[in-house]
Structure 1
Amino acid sequence: MDKLILIDGNSIIYRAFFAMPPLNNSGGLHTNAVYGFTNMLLRLLQEEKPTHVMVAFDAGKVTFRHEGYEDYKGGREKTPPELSEQFPLTRELLESFGICWFELPGFEADDIIGTISRQAEEAGKEVLVVTGDKDMLQVVSDKVKVALTRKGISEVEPYGPQEIKEKYGLAPEQIIDLKGLMGDPSDNIPGVPGIGEKTALKLLHQFGSVEEVLARTDELKGKMKENLVNHAEDARLSKQLATIHREVPIDRSFEDMIFQGLKEETAAPMLRKLEFKSLIERLSFGDGPGRTEAGEGTSQEQAEIDVTMVDEAALDELVQQIPRIEVMYVESHGDNPHQAEGMGLILSTTERHYFVSFPFLLSEAAKPIKDWLSDWKIPKCGYDLHRADLVLHWLGIPFAGAEHDIQLAAYLLDPTDSNLTISGLAAKYGLPYLSSDDEVYGKGAKFKVPEPEILSRHLARKAEAMLRIIPHQKEELESNEMNQLFYELEMPLSRILADMEKQGIAVNREALADLGKEFEAQIQKLESRIYELAGVEFNLNSPKQLGEVLFDKLELPVVKKTKTGYSTDAEVLDKLAPYHEIVQFILEYRQLAKLQSTYVEGLLKEIRPDTGKVHTFYRQTVAATGRLSSQYPNLQNIPIRLEEGRKIRKVFVPSEAGWSIFAADYSQIELRVLAHISEDKGLQEAFLHDMDIHTKTAMDVFGVSHEQVDADMRRSAKAVNFGIVYGISDYGLSQNLHITRKEAAQFIEQYFQAFQGVRRYMDDIVKEAKQNGYVTTLLERRRYLPEINASNFNLRSFAERTAMNTPIQGTAADIIKLAMVLMDEALRERGLKSRMLLQVHDELVFEVPPEELETMGKLVPETMEKALALSVPLKAEVSSGANWYEAK
């Protein structure tokens, strides 16, 4: 699971400044706050091992809170200039570390963190917030923990819901009530005179909230009652000021927050500028480019690199050396390989590198090079050969013969490694320092293709690293028993995916436009109905205006509030649905608006003008379970649970007249894998007798006959079946079924009583993971779990859940990949015209001519069902139609 660390930059730097003794570099820069901040940051990165990091800053002194209370933070002294000058230094340091930072005028760092932590929680990520501000405890949940700094910033004290309960006797959301009553002098929040923390806690334990305390002052006595009555508005205002706004308009994505580890080439120069020598030593950074990870030899930056610039004069030399080529690499610019700009090709022997520019490669003279690239009998080794295949294809250059892809091998050897770049792999294997692409080309708007001499040397250094990485990988693949997985499954699949992507899937642009009009008409109809029920027209996309309509005008019960008013997120609306029919219309409006923007307008932009198709890009090296991910566009996320979402599939059509779209879907593949791996007799019996697995589960869990299983029982059984596969907790199940955690825990226990083989498997796989440090799929796909023996309960629990579900999900991913390889062979052997177009989760999509429909109707399920022999049968259901919608 992704782990996101969010740091309150202002809070930590401020505390570091006053906790650390004065410190300057030789240029006179004050650096004590940056030093303290960096020390703490490095410790966090080492101990927490986050996948994502972001630091939030206050953008200025005036925020939206000043609009309602001009004296907010009015008592604070002016920031010392010795501290002020360290904020830009800290931002510069973060950029050198490859860490995202963000600020937004009108909002505080608290609000940014509150918003991102909410979004991350909704996306299923674990979040750790690091701050010195107790206010932040209000965002704590099962997925969001807050670490409060102590002793300046040298220690942190972690808080989850349980820790808040133990220390304060409160739920996280009551922290704002605590501030409402006692105030906060540091922010000039008034609170109620005479009420400190002890009294405020006593009141909250008795009444629960500021509003309830104020409503029941007649149960109180003396001066405290008098102060509460006289300062009721101060209490309400104080609570409002202390409430973190969790719907800030943030233009950062989680992708921006990805942390791929410190890169010496950028971090070391900044640390040297700050003269943090102890930190440079602690990180084992040397004196910059020239040092090797293993302390050996000289760097590639300094070593002489032999590169021949291939033109007509030098072509004969390359042609003579072509049989000795060991690695090849295509450099291109642009995220989407279907639109990438080719920059250059490097072909390398062990002694020499040959740089081929794309203008020369496209010329008639370069025919020998193109013949070599397209010869499937000549094995090629390189980095990201899948992308190379696509880039060359769109330039009209065929490519074949991929044998060893360094990126793909690195992913198999450690699917949780977030830095699979060539420079990252070079560092991993202790090779000489290799400049990153950003360092050579520049980043973002500063990107520039360098002169051929510089470009060729950079590519040659990459090739030099590849030549040295490949032997290490081959040795590891052999020792990890992954040769078959790599050479017989993943490498052939890479070529199959490229073929599917080049083929693309046709889109009926008119049908898509018509669907857009249909959605637009429905959206307008919904808008009218909502305005009619509300009795007023308002901006439906404004949470503030919607909140005023729902809670002030219609007086619906307030579920939760934000700093700027009422929350109207999906969770709130779901809870409000029983109270007023307007809510269901609002939910439908939001769903349709998203379909319109993401899938109608989004797909229209993705249709390639020269083909009339969309050409997705499948990434093999992203998901730790082995699943494929899809981009440009993502065709795996079309929301088919909604009828309107399913309609999106109508626009995907065959590319040839009279042909059909043919779809084949594995039935409950993960549960079948679980039945095989766990050897549970009850699960196996259900699949061997072709029973409905959810009905069978309901029978065994509830102890009833087949006839007694009702729709609710089956729905609950289905939730727990799939929940078990994905390592669901009692909390997760309680949310899915809208029952209490106690009831969910009891349900899970009943499941394990009924299916004891599953419980035994869960226990055994965790023990195995603790012993080996990893788990494997049936095809030896490996996932390392470094936190499986961690002392930290949360880290260990996550690793244990991952150990349980990875062999199931990973084996299911392996099976559909095997089916794709077998189907590709079958289509070729039989000389069929049918084409495999898409893989979406457990589904394969083809386009098929009419004369082959009967053949494919037998061949596809037969091939998919024999992909891997299990103790229970695999089952594939097939259908066809004039479009993808009809095929389902």
Structure 2
Amino acid sequence: MSKPKTLVLVDGSSYLYRAYHAMPDLRAVPGDPHSPATGAIRGMVNMMQALSKQVQADYAACVFDASGPTFRDALYPQYKAQRAPMPDDLRAQIAPIHEVVRLLGWPVLAITGVEADDVIGTLAVAAARQGIEVIVSSGDKDLSQLVNEHITIIDTMNGKKRDVAGVTAEFGVPPALMVDFQALVGDTVDNVPGVPKVGPKTAAKWLMEYGSLDALVARAGEIKGVVGENLRGALGWLPTARQLVTIKTDCDLDGHVPGLPAMDSIAVGAQQTGALRDFYQQYGFKGLASALGAAPAQAAPAPTPKKAAKKPSDNLTSDLFADADLSATDTAGADTTTAPPDGPDTTTDPASADPASTLRCDTLLTWADFDRWLARLQGAELVAIDTETTSLDAMRAEIVGISFSVQPDEAAYIPLRHAGPDAPEQLPFDAVLARLKPWLQDASRPKLGQHIKYDRHVFANHGIEVQGYAHDTMLQSYVLEVHKPHNLTSLAQRHLGRSGIAYEDLCGKGAHQIPFAQVDVAKAAEYAGEDADQTLQVHGALWPLLQADDKLRAIYALEMQSSEALYRIERNGVLIDAPTLATQSHELGQRILQLEQEAYEIAGQPFNLASPKQLGEIFFDKLGMPVVKKTATGARSTDEEVLEKLALDYPLPAKLLEHRSLSKLKGTYTDKLAQLALPRTGRVHTHYAQAVAVTGRLSSAEPNLQNIPIRTPEGRRIRAAFVAPPGCVLASADYSQIELRIMAHLSGDHALLHAFQQGLDVHRATAAEVFGVSVHQVTSEQRRYAKVINFGLIYGMSSFGLAKNLGIETKAAAAYIDKYFQRYPGVKQYMDDTKAQAKAMGYVETVLGRRLYLPEINSPNGPRRAAAERAAINAPMQGTAADLIKLAMVKVQQALDAHQPAIKMILQVHDELVFELPESEVDWLRHEIPRLMASVADLRVPLLAEVGVGRNWDEAH
């Protein structure tokens, strides 16, 4: 028996609104807010491509609402009257959306006088009668009334499937009763009233009890109470409501879809590759355009294999909008990333099609072949190197093989530790490394890599300190296109129009994944050679762009130098005192148990401290605490914000907050830090992700040493476990109030400049200005208020936020902000000018010229736009601070190499550098390090670094 054919119907109107709200404010010319908006177009392309991967269709149509009234408007003039008008920038994208959907191979329907739901209903029912399986893609619950054994609704955005069982489980009634259900409940989106006070549960209960709306109406007198009165009062309206919510399945589509019921007019078409490439280029989708390459026209897009890397990448963005030419930004006060700093490299463009590969990769299994390639390496102007390894952990990884490329489409792979059943005899591991070592350690031989810091660690694990790295394609991308993914797969797709072999295709995945050493050597060589070749060719695409921009080229030079310094810091590591951590864990465990008992006593019973349901019952039912807020499902919330508010008046929430805080400290740090220490060194070697935060700030992982809490005594004690070896001490050099100093420099505000230039306590000076007293009269409380104001305004804090932080009325907080801006008018002017610049340019810059994109700065969505405005103010300060600490790190490391090699830089935490040094070198460090850190930039205010020394990190503060 032949398989039935399939019709896929897309609710295009639902799709385009989803695409519009999900995507940032993209523009055809990136950064130019006056060029056409393209976010909804780009989102629509991704959604259609995602659907094409999920379902295979014989017939298809993407159905949109046409402009103009329908029969429902005549039936009920208030129909959809409450809907806001379509945003202008979305309206302008509708015609291009229709065009690109057609180019992707989908028939497009928008029929005057007929709503999209009715077109979908007519087509679905006609197809089902012919035995065709129908899949409707939509998030609209109204379409559930169409569902039967041949018609199914899917929602690709959340994975929801509405078949007969799914509809019944979700709404409490089968699809055959959904019209009656909707008539009773009403539709607030379309402004269709239902029966007052009758919600989904009541409607489902009535319909399942009486069998239908007609039967319910006939026995309406039996319904008791207020809802019964409301039902009887709505009897005259219900027939109209049912007519409004009923999807028509018999619309006359002749002239629009001729040939019904044969369906031939909506057969799936071929993708129009040439026209599609032109469309992508017109609207600025360079990644999509280049990914098409010379691929032949095909049916609606099919899945493209993804490539996973064998080593970590600093930026691993991968989602529905992976290559959407997005611009990411930091939210106020914190760096944000879209993915963890380490993990498999999985980003791929869903529309990419790799042109036929012309790569030739030599597998070096003899000394003759090795010598021939070594001569090529020694004579090449630039060599791309890549390693295949045993681990993602750079400090533990060992080499399995090495690949090189010296010119496009040519590569070589040296397998060294492949041990599969069919593995050929390979050159001796130690002998190969010994013969490569002179060239690898020759600084005069320029080398290139993708995330070179990782490969440097891998070679160092085998006693080779690679010198001469001139370029890193990951960092080139990070500087040029900070808002995009920087892993090699994404770079190759974006800039070369190439994808490649998937790591999972070689090694499998999950529990069945094999080590790379067991991969067939021929396949491993193709994979590894491809990486080296792509790295070389991506460099060829990116380096000219950096050469053409002096500012960005200087930022790239700083990133390359920072990579060297970070490699040294990571390699040094920091010594951990395991017994101290064990003692702290025991003490924390005892206190956690004590807090549990105290919580039980207050509650009058034992309970699960991690159960929101039990907490809600004890808080609100037993102890009578007020409900502060509810969750999205209507449950009474007991999240941290609620606990903090309740803790002001009730002891139990305070106990729970302390319990949660200590449990996190124990689980994240005191229990685990010693386990993360490298056995051969006894030290923790964190990984600094350099290409994650768009402001240029570093992030730390495995372990994260930048988020150790220091506001509580228990949190600060954890730093006491970071120790110096015998005869040595630790020293901490920390920039003082760096972002406030940058604000003074950027704003040029006279009062703020004066405070820093005179060496005043800037918070005390601010308090004097805001409260109208002399500096000597400022109280500690006034200084605390001023400190919150100073830092809060940097992060765009509102009067509401300030009031919450200070525990005062919003009106009083607003008055403080007004007074602040009166006394520091230059700061207000800077903020206004920066926001205006961001709106005009689409980005802001640091003092050194690092570019920080703000895709939502002109968004029609108010909260998104406000967040982007706050980021526009903060990003230049946060980004400049990141640039300055990198400059300091580089300058200090150079000084240590030249004068004090016994001093090791072992940590970088925000604006702080931590050192391990012999006790005899303390005087030199106290004098020289602050001088070096203060001299990295010439600002309008002096930079100040303060040094502390101690036997451990805590004492050094």
Residue of structure 2 in register with 1:579 after alignment: 649
Asked if 1:537 corresponds to 2:606, the answer is yes
User: Deviations 1:210-230 (Å, cap 9, x if unpaired)?
Assistant: xxxxxxxxxxxxx99962899
As a proportion of its length, which structure holds more helix? 1
Residue of structure 2 in register with 1:379 after alignment: 446
Residue of structure 1 in register with 2:538 after alignment: 469
CA drift at 1:316:
1.1
Pick aligned residue for 1:515 from 584, 590, 605: 584
1-side partners of 2:229 and 2:623: how far apart? 30
CA drift at 1:643:
1.0
Asked if 1:454 corresponds to 2:523, the answer is yes
CA drift at 1:748:
2.5
1-side partners of 2:386 and 2:188: how far apart? 48
Pick aligned residue for 2:413 from 355, 364, 380: 355
Residue of structure 1 in register with 2:705 after alignment: 635
Give the aligned residue type for 2:377: I
Give the aligned residue type for 2:622: K
Asked if 1:407 corresponds to 2:384, the answer is no
Specify the SS of the correspondent of 1:821. Answer: helix
Matches within 5 A, 1:213-232: 227=226
Residue of structure 2 in register with 1:606 after alignment: 676
Residue of structure 1 in register with 2:548 after alignment: 479
Query: Considering only aligned residues, what root-mean-square deviation do their CA atoms show, in Å?
Result: 4.1
Question: Judging changes above 3 Å, is the alpha-carbon distance between structure 1 residues 746 and 284 closer, same or farther for their aligned structure 2 residues?
Answer: farther
Residue of structure 2 in register with 1:31 after alignment: 8
Question: Judging changes above 3 Å, is the alpha-carbon distance between structure 1 residues 321 and 703 closer, same or farther for their aligned structure 2 residues?
Answer: same
Matches within 5 A, 1:12-23: none
Specify the SS of the correspondent of 2:471. Answer: strand
Residue of structure 1 in register with 2:393 after alignment: 336
Give the aligned residue type for 1:625: T
CA drift at 1:397:
3.3
CA drift at 1:376:
2.8
Specify the SS of the correspondent of 1:381. Answer: strand
CA drift at 1:510:
0.7
Give the aligned residue type for 2:148: P
Higher mean C-alpha displacement, 364-373 vs 490-499: 364-373
Specify the SS of the correspondent of 1:314. Answer: helix
Matches within 5 A, 1:778-857: 778-857=847-926
Matches within 5 A, 1:396-795: 396-417=463-484, 419-435=485-501, 437=503, 442-445=508-511, 447-448=513-514, 449=516, 450-482=519-551, 485-486=554-555, 488-562=557-631, 566-654=636-724, 656-795=725-864
2-side partners of 1:301 and 1:458: how far apart? 16
Asked if 1:80 corresponds to 2:143, the answer is no
1-side partners of 2:763 and 2:223: how far apart? 59
User: Deviations 1:118-138 (Å, cap 9, x if unpaired)?
Assistant: xxxxxxxxxxxxxxxx99xxx
Contact 2:552 2:850 in 1 (8 A): no
Residue of structure 1 in register with 2:374 after alignment: 319
Residue of structure 2 in register with 1:116 after alignment: none
Give the aligned residue type for 2:927: K
2-side partners of 1:678 and 1:337: how far apart? 42
Contact 1:680 1:758 in 2 (8 A): yes
Specify the SS of the correspondent of 1:871. Answer: coil
Question: Judging changes above 3 Å, is the alpha-carbon distance between structure 1 residues 229 and 595 closer, same or farther for their aligned structure 2 residues?
Answer: farther
Higher mean C-alpha displacement, 703-712 vs 522-531: 703-712
Question: Judging changes above 3 Å, is the alpha-carbon distance between structure 1 residues 188 and 581 closer, same or farther for their aligned structure 2 residues?
Answer: same
Bigger Rg, which one: 2
Specify the SS of the correspondent of 2:949. Answer: strand
Pick aligned residue for 2:403 from 320, 325, 346: 346
CA drift at 1:361:
7.6
Q: Structure 2, unaligned stretches of length 5 or more?
A: 27-38, 51-140, 171-180, 208-221, 231-266, 280-286, 297-352, 418-426
2-side partners of 1:667 and 1:488: how far apart? 26
How much identity, in percent, do the aligned residues show?
A: 35
Specify the SS of the correspondent of 1:549. Answer: helix
Output the TM-score relative to the length of structure 2.
0.66
2-side partners of 1:225 and 1:748: how far apart? 57
CA drift at 1:337:
2.7
Residue of structure 2 in register with 1:220 after alignment: none
2-side partners of 1:507 and 1:492: how far apart? 28
CA drift at 1:758:
0.9
Q: Structure 1, unaligned stretches of length 5 or more?
A: 1-24, 56-72, 95-99, 113-133, 136-147, 152-156, 158-166, 169-177, 192-222, 232-273
Question: Judging changes above 3 Å, is the alpha-carbon distance between structure 1 residues 850 and 187 closer, same or farther for their aligned structure 2 residues?
Answer: farther
Question: Judging changes above 3 Å, is the alpha-carbon distance between structure 1 residues 290 and 758 closer, same or farther for their aligned structure 2 residues?
Answer: closer
Residue of structure 1 in register with 2:951 after alignment: 882
Contact 2:558 2:887 in 1 (8 A): yes
CA drift at 1:698:
1.8
User: Deviations 1:497-520 (Å, cap 9, x if unpaired)?
Assistant: 111111111111111000001101
Specify the SS of the correspondent of 1:578. Answer: coil
1-side partners of 2:499 and 2:854: how far apart? 28
Give the aligned residue type for 1:500: I
Asked if 1:306 corresponds to 2:353, the answer is no
Pick aligned residue for 1:865 from 916, 934, 946: 934
CA drift at 1:633:
0.5
Asked if 1:183 corresponds to 2:210, the answer is no
1-side partners of 2:933 and 2:802: how far apart? 32
Specify the SS of the correspondent of 1:32. Answer: strand
User: Deviations 1:288-346 (Å, cap 9, x if unpaired)?
Assistant: x9995474699876233221112323111012111215322224465433344645321
Question: Judging changes above 3 Å, is the alpha-carbon distance between structure 1 residues 811 and 77 closer, same or farther for their aligned structure 2 residues?
Answer: closer
Question: Judging changes above 3 Å, is the alpha-carbon distance between structure 1 residues 361 and 739 closer, same or farther for their aligned structure 2 residues?
Answer: farther
Question: Judging changes above 3 Å, is the alpha-carbon distance between structure 1 residues 483 and 581 closer, same or farther for their aligned structure 2 residues?
Answer: closer
CA drift at 1:381:
1.3
CA drift at 1:817:
0.7
Output the TM-score relative to the length of structure 1.
0.71
Contact 1:531 1:537 in 2 (8 A): yes
User: Deviations 1:605-639 (Å, cap 9, x if unpaired)?
Assistant: 31222221111000110001110000010000001
